[in-house]
Chains A and B, each alone.
Chain A
Amino acid sequence: FKDDLSTSLQLFTPMSPYDLDLPIQATEDVVFSSQFNQPKELPTDFSSVDLSFLPDIAQDNKEQNLSKDGNETQKELDGSIPRNEDSSGIMDESSLSYPDATQPSPEASGMCPLTPMTPMTPATSASESSGIVPQLQNIVSTVNLACKLDLKNIALHARNAEYNPKRFAAVIMRIREPRTTALIFSSGKMVCTGAKSEEQSRLAARKYARVVQKLGFPAKFLDFKIQNMVGSCDVRFPIWLEGLVLTHQQFSSYEPELFPGLIYRMVKPRIVLLIFVSGKVVLTGAKERSEIYEAFENIYPILKGFKKAS
């Protein structure tokens, strides 16, 4: 069915569905607004196309629609994938021959990342996608509170702070929701770790800044930046690491004496992957979520080649 989705995208090239000034926009919003609110329910006509392997898109759609209402363009683009299916019904289902579809061209895949604002998982690529989405496990971000801080004072007045100047020159503060840890330095710079998404990291950093504010310091919230993102996933088959290091020597480092996993330094995007024999993959070094997804889609066909039939 994955090929079907790609072909349906390709079939829409002449229609240019990603053109923002689509004339049928208004009517489609009305007719298919239910589609946006309940993305899980697909019209029965299109049961042959199953979108359940894209959970994040459905939720992202929900997010975008809730937080950015009134942004019709956004809605339009977010809804484009389910909309494609609907529109195909409008055309003529019989004219779409799914089983005899030709190989989708690379242009079809290029249409997937719709706008830079929408953090969507890439739905398909030219070759079949893995169907596995890496989960984000940790986000590290930094922010500048822009005022000098008295760490002893903070440690005294805050319950959730620990400060041991002999061991480390910063206050270690933790909050429960989102479950994160922050390192707060006397210069006013702060590092926030442990969040599972960019938004959670930002929210957590703001909470820490509020705590510092309530302690009486004129804290601001400047230059919030995500420094590192860590994701992990499971390809569900064992990987023959010795073979991988032989063929991809210039990128891989596999030293079983040191570490049981293979360290793969991908060049584009610049991500470091830790690949283990059990099939678990850890991806780190990303500044953006899309880099993690892209890196995994790049490595998945390579790993499949080392599945090693027993």
Chain B
Amino acid sequence: MAAPGRRCPGCGSAELLEDALYAQQQLVCAACGCVLAEGLLTTTYSEEEHRREVAYSQSTGQKEQLSRCLQRGIRRVQDLCKVLQLPTVFEETAVSYFQRAMQHPAFHLVSLEKKELLGGCCVFVTCRQHNWPLTMGTICSLLYAKQELFAGVFLSLQKELGLSVPALSLADLVKTHLNSFRLFQHSADIPAPFVEDKEKMVARTLQIVELAGETWLVTGRHPIPIVTAAAFLAWQSLQPGTRLACPLARFCRVAGVDLPPPAHLRLKELLEILLRMASQLAWLRVFKLDKKTVVKHIGDLLQHRIFLLKNAFCVEEEEEQHAVALGEGSPGSPRAVAQEKGCPVGIKHRQEGGTRPLLPPCLIQPRKRLRMAAPSAVDSAVSGDEPISDSEIEQYLRGPEEIRAFSKAKAW
């Protein structure tokens, strides 16, 4: 139908019909037969009549070049970017990665599930390349994907396209993760003592995470539990009087954040580090500090952390690493031994004195018994061409009675 209000320029009649002459669309006046418009020379949507710019991705031109699968995938990538509220430049980059990946022979024949994950992987890679702190957990939950499958697709994407994915910036992750904590505004379901100032909490959490990084608690571990544990400690230390009694689980529940299972272990490790540092602070040695009470002094400990770390932990020596099995000495007892800088000579000193080498927890408490199995002389004398005795082989074969019994039982 013609747009309302159009009149024939010849006779002024408002009766306009759309008619087709030889399959060419024409707008004709019913009264005088004057042809107002003929043919649609453009292949774009009718919006072009209104002289609006049509993006190439909206025009049919692009649609004809791409397969339906690719179109669906690109739409999915764009939707993901919108949900995550990413800048537009991210969207373009992610779509281009996706197209490159889909053209790669390695991804031609993957299952539909994996193709969907591929879109998510492209978004993830784009975010990491722009230092936008997005975790795999977030993407997996958006895609309803299993993390192992996502991991596989991500690694093969990285390998096939040769993309360099910079490491996740922990500082940015802290800020983003803390954004999801609902503790920074007074609300009906949050008790007053729980509410905290965002700036202070972010600053202190960052410091604690840095401390964790310096003491080998971060390398090789999933970052989110560390951030959660650090946030908890920071929150507690800002108002220890009222908050010391609150356990980690309750904190996460009130804050509206998931509690990842390793967070408890990270909390324990962080507290152990803080206790060792506290043992070096002169005015704290008087108190018998334990896991709870040390939280009150986190502010001081963080302020002097460089000095305290240097004194609380000695530079490890290679040979003694394996032999160190530390007992937990009472941290509050006054320690003359701990005063000495540098490494005490004997391992005994270290156990009693409370200074230990600064090592990752997996080296301090090895869970597996270290099997120092050197290849025996017998093994290494094998040449591969030795004669094989018949008796040795026959031990692996069943006797006739055995076979009969087996066939009866299993009814081969």
Contacts and interface: CB of A to CB of B under 8 A. Distances in A.
Contacts of B141: none
Contact of A211 (B167, B321, B357, B393): B393
B398 A159 contact: yes
B388 A253 contact: no
B398 A156 contact: yes
A278 B367 CA distance: 12
Contact of B382 (A157, A200, A259): A200
Contacts of A157: 397-398, 403
A256 B217 CA distance: 12
Interface in A203-229: 203, 206-207, 210-211, 214-215
A160 B397 CA distance: 8
Given A249-B166, A310-B316, A197 B393 contact: no
A256 B396 contact: no
B216 A257 contact: no
Contact of B396 (A211, A255, A277, A310): A211
Given A135-B375, A200-B384, A206-B388, A238 B393 contact: no
Interface string B149-180: 00100110010000011111000000000000
Nearest to B224: A257
B380 A197 contact: yes
A257 B222 contact: yes
Contacts of A135: 374-375
Contacts of A32: none
Contacts of A255: 136, 151, 154
A198 interface: yes
B113 to A, nearest CB: 18
Given A203-B384, A278-B360, A156 B220 contact: no
Contacts of A245: 167
A230 to B, nearest CB: 14
Contacts of B383: 63, 67, 199, 203
A241 B411 CA distance: 57
Contact of B384 (A202, A211, A250, A278): A202
Interface in B282-334: 309, 313, 315-316, 318, 321-322
A106 B154 CA distance: 41
A197 B166 contact: no
A201 B385 CA distance: 11
A166 interface: no
Contacts of A160: 396
B317 to A, nearest CB: 10
Contacts of B402: 159
A277 B379 contact: no
Interface centre among A62, A156, A255 (most CB of B within 10 A): A255
B164 A249 contact: yes
A165 B186 CA distance: 63
Contacts, number: 139
A107 to B, nearest CB: 31
Nearest to A250: B164
A278 B362 contact: yes
A152 B397 contact: no
Interface in A111-139: 135
A175 B396 contact: yes
B384 A257 contact: no
B302 to A, nearest CB: 18
B135 A257 contact: yes
A79 to B, nearest CB: 18
Contacts of B395: 159
Contacts of A98: none
B412 interface: yes
B341 interface: no
Contacts of A242: 167, 213, 218-219
A260 interface: yes
Contact of B375 (A152, A196, A202, A278): A196
A18 interface: no
A258 interface: yes
Contact of A198 (B309, B381, B384): B384
Contacts of B381: 62-63, 66
Q: Which 5 A-B pairs have the closest CB atoms?
A: A202-B384, A199-B384, A310-B358, A260-B220, A277-B220
12 contacts: A63-B381, A157-B398, A158-B397, A159-B396, A159-B397, A198-B384, A199-B382, A203-B388, A211-B393, A254-B167, A256-B218, A257-B136
Interface of B: 135-137, 147, 151, 154-155, 158, 164-168, 213, 216, 218-223, 309, 313, 315-316, 318, 321-322, 357-360, 362-363, 374-375, 377, 379-386, 388, 392-398, 402-403, 406-407, 412
Given A156-B398, A278-B362, 13 more contacts: A59-B380, A152-B412, A159-B397, A160-B396, A197-B375, A197-B379, A200-B379, A238-B216, A241-B220, A250-B164, A256-B220, A259-B151, A310-B358
